[in-house]
Amino acid sequence: MMKFKPVFENVTRPIQILGPCSAETEEQVMETARQLAENDIKVDLFRAGIWKPRTRPNSFEGVGPEGLKWLKRVRDEFGFKITTEVANKEHAFEAVKANVDVIWIGARTTVNPFSVQEVADALRGTDIPVLIKNPINPDLQLWMGAIERMLNVGLTRIGVIHRGFSKFGKSVYRNSPQWQIPLELKREFPDIQILCDASHIAGNRENLYQVSQSALNLNFDGIMLETHPTPDDAWSDAAQQVTPAELKRTVLDRLIVRHEKGDDPVVQHNLEDLRSQIDLIDKEMFQLFSDRMNLAEKIGEYKKQNNITIYQQGRWSEILERMMEKAAPMGLSAGFVDKVLKAVHEESISRQEKVMQGHNEDVLK
C-alpha cells in the first residue's frame, strides 16, 4: 500500500482552495484576496491560473510568471498559502523557484503521460506538494498513472482533485461527475486527500452548492472553487465564477460536513443495525439471482432439445414492460429497473449460450 503524506495538515474540513480561475491583473488578484479576507472566509490555499490551457486558441492564455509575484503578494499580505497550475518543465521550475506552497496538474496535462513525466522530472529532489486533477476522459488508470509518476520521483505530499469528465452532448454539468471514479481511486489509495473542484463540474453558478455538498456527502476532504471580484467580466470561466461574498452566502455557509463515523454510540449502533439488514437483503437478492439463472439454464436445455433460438424479442419486451409497470409503484426509477433487467437478461443469455455451445462443441470435435 502506498503511503501519502497529507498536502494539507492541521486543517478543519472542508479544506478550501479558493481564488480566481485566472490571474488577470495585479489589482484583480489582490482584490479577490482582500474580499476573501474581508468576508472572513477560510482559505486553506489561494488559487489562480497563470498559464491557462484554453480549448480554443486566441483566448486569454494567462499572464505567465509575472503572476507569480502577485500570488506572493497575496501570501505576504493576507497569509494565504498559494497554488497555481503547471503543465510543463518550465512552469514547474518557475513555480518551485517562486516558492509556491503547492502546485496543481490540470486535467489536460494528466491525460498526457509525456507531460506528466516531464513535470515529475522537473520536480525531482524537491518536496513540493502536488495536487493532481483527473484526466478529462474518465480513465482511472491514467489518473493513477500520474500519481505514480510523482511518487516515482520521490514526491510524497500528493493529493487529488476531482473536476469531472468531459462528455458529448447536453447535460446539466459542464463536466460530468461520475462519482464512482474518484471513489474507486480513493479505494485504491485510501490515505490520499481528495478534493472536488465543483466549479469545473458545475460550469455555472447555480449548481456550485449542490456539487460541493455531494462531494462532502461522499466524504471528500475539501473543495476547490473559483471566485472573482467582478465575475461577469472574468477573462476565463466567467459563467461559473461568483464574488467571494456570494460564494460565502450561496455555497460555503450552507455546506454541511458529514463524518465518516458518528461519535454518538447510539447513532453508530443504529447505523450498524440498518447496515446488517442491507447485508442480509444483498445476500438474499444474489441467492434469487442465482436461482433465476439456474432456471434460465433449464430453459436453455429445453430450447436446445427443441431447436428454438435463445433470444425471443417478444418475450424480452414483455418482461421489460411488465417489470417496469410493477416496479414504478415500488418507488424504483425506470432507469434503474432498465439497467438491472438488462444485466439480468445479458447474464441469462450468456448462460443459455453456454448450454447451447456445449452441444456445438460436441459436434465440432
Q: Which residues bind ligand PEP (CB under 6 A)?
A: 21, 49, 53, 106-108, 133, 163, 197, 200
Between 14 and 300, CB nearer to ligand PEP? 14
Instruction: State which of residues 15, 17, 21, 234 lies at the interface with Mn ion (CB under 5 A).
Output: 21
Kindly state the smallest distance separating residue 178's Cβ from ligand PEP, in Å.
14
Alpha carbon of 277 to those of 45, 218, 271, 272: distances in Å? 42, 21, 10, 9
The torsion of the CA quartet 277, 281, 287, 288, rounded to 10 degrees, works out to 160
Q: Supply the minimum distance, in Å, between the C-beta of residue 30 and ligand PEP.
A: 19
175 or 243, CB closer to ligand PEP?
Answer: 175
Closest approach of Cβ 226 to ligand PEP, in Å? 7
- The answer to whether 133 and 110 have CB atoms below 8 angstroms apart is yes
d(CA 39, CA 249): 10
Distance between start and end Cα atoms, the chain: 48
Q: Which part of the chain contacts Mn ion (CB under 5 A), choosing from 15-23, 138-146, 162-170, 214-222?
A: 15-23
Q: Which three cell numbers stand for residue 237?
A: 470561466
- Minimum distance, C-beta of residue 99 to ligand PEP, in the bound complex (Å): 21
Nearest distance in Å: CB 236, Mn ion: 6
- Binding residue (CB under 5 A) for Mn ion from 85, 94, 118, 237: 237
Alpha helices in 39-79 (DSSP H): 66-78
CB closer to Mn ion, 102 vs 122: 102
Distance (Å) of CA 190 to CA 116, 131, 230, 239: 22, 16, 39, 34
Contact (Cβ atoms closer than 8 angstroms) between residue 110 and residue 146: yes
Minimal CB distance residue for ligand PEP: 106
Which partner in ligand PEP, Mn ion, none is near 73 (CB below 5 to 8 A by kind)?
Answer: none
Q: Is residue 208 within the footprint of Mn ion (CB under 5 A)? A: no
Residues forming contacts to Mn ion in the complex (CB under 5 A) are 21, 237
